[in-house]
Amino acid sequence: MEGSKRFGNVDYYLLTFEIPGFNGEGLYGVNVDEYLNGIGFEYDLTEKDDKKLEKIAPVSAIQQLADIAKTALKESRTQPEKLIFSINEATSLVDGKYIFKSIVGKEKIAVIKLDFFNFPVKTLDYWNATVWHEVLHVKYFVEGRLPTMYPVYYSDFFDEGPLWAFDCLLDFSIDGWLEKQNKPVLKADVDLKQYHISHFTRLIQEHGYPVDEDSIVSIANDLWGRETDIHEIWEIMKKIGLDFDENSPIGRYLRLMF
Ligand SMILES: [Zn+2]
C-alpha cells in the first residue's frame, strides 16, 4: 500500500468513564489521523485506502465539519481538552446506529462518532444543526452536569432502563437553548418543542410505561432552553415512573451518587 497522508495516526487518546459499559467495559481508545482547524479526525475504515477515505470522508466535507464545530464550541463556550470526530466505515446495515453520538471521557476528551457507508450528502443546514446539537451534548459532559459514560447502543440498554429518557430530557434543554439563541436546529420547519414532546411521549409508550401527557408538557415547558443536570433529570424520571434497574451500571452509579 502506498503511503497515505490522511491516515496519519498523529495522536492516541484513551478515555475513561464514571459509568462503565454494561459488561464492565471501562476504556475507549481514539486515534487522531489528522487535524483541521485544531479539530481531530479519526478514520476507522476496514482498510487504509485513500480512495475509500475520500468517498467516506471527503476533505471538503471534513473541513466543513471542523469549521462548524469550531464556531459551535466558541459560541456555546464549550471547552473540551480536545474534540475529535470519529468517522467509521459502516460494514453492515445494522451499523450506522452511531450517526452522531457524543462520547466524553473523564479526561474531557470529546469524541463525536459517525458511521457512514458514504459521506451522506446533506445540506449545510443539516450539518450545522447536527454538529451544534452534539457540541451541546459535549458541553454537558465537559461541565460535569452529566456523568461520563462508556458508549453503548441504546438498544443494548433496553432491558436495563430507559437510557433514551436521558436524551429526550436533555434535548428539551439543548434544542430549547439553540432555538432561543437563534442557532441552527434540526426540524426548523416544525414546532420544535411539540416535536420533542411527541417523540418523548411515543418512546415512553413504546417501552410500555404509563404516559401522563400533562406532566410531559409541563416538564418540557420547564426544561426548554435552560440548563439542567443529572440529579434533576433523574428526579424527573422517577417522578414519571422511569427508573433504572439498581443492578445496571447507571442504576448503581445514580444510587451511589444521589
Ligand atoms: Zn440530543
Note the pLDDT tens digit of each residue in 112-160.
988 777 777 778 888 899 999 999 999 999 999 999 999 876 555 555 6
pTM > 0.85:
yes
Residues 100, 61 share a domain: yes
Residues 130, 28 share a domain: yes
Which amino acid belongs to residue 184?
P
Q: How many CB atoms are closer than 10 A to CB 100?
A: 14
pLDDT of res. 153: 65
Which amino acid belongs to residue 181?
Q
* Residue 174 included in any domain: yes
Mean pLDDT for the stretch of residues 5-22? 92
Intra-chain end-to-end CA distance of the chain, in Å = 54
Q: What residues have a C-beta under 5 A from ligand 1, the ion? A: 171
Mean pLDDT of the chain: 90
* Residue 150 included in any domain: no
Calculate how far, in angstroms, residue 137's C-alpha sits from the geometric centre of ligand 1: 6
Residues 198, 130 share a domain: no
Rounded to whole angstroms, how far apart are CA atoms 254 and 239?
15
Residues 93, 15 share a domain: yes
Of 117 and 237, more confident: 237
Calculate how far, in angstroms, residue 247's C-alpha sits from the geometric centre of ligand 1: 26
pLDDT tens, residue by residue, 64-108: 999 999 999 999 999 999 999 999 888 766 555 556 789 999 999
CB-based contact 15:109 (threshold 8 Å)? yes
Look at the chain and report how many structural domains it folds into: 2
Final residue belonging to a domain, choices 142, 165, 183: 142
Which amino acid belongs to residue 255?
R
What residue numbers bound the domain in which 62 lies? 11-142
Calculate how far, in angstroms, residue 101's C-alpha sits from the geometric centre of ligand 1: 9
Residues 130, 34 share a domain: yes
Residues 87, 30 share a domain: yes
Residues 121, 200 share a domain: no
Residue found by looking up cell 465539519 in the block: 65
pLDDT of res. 209: 93
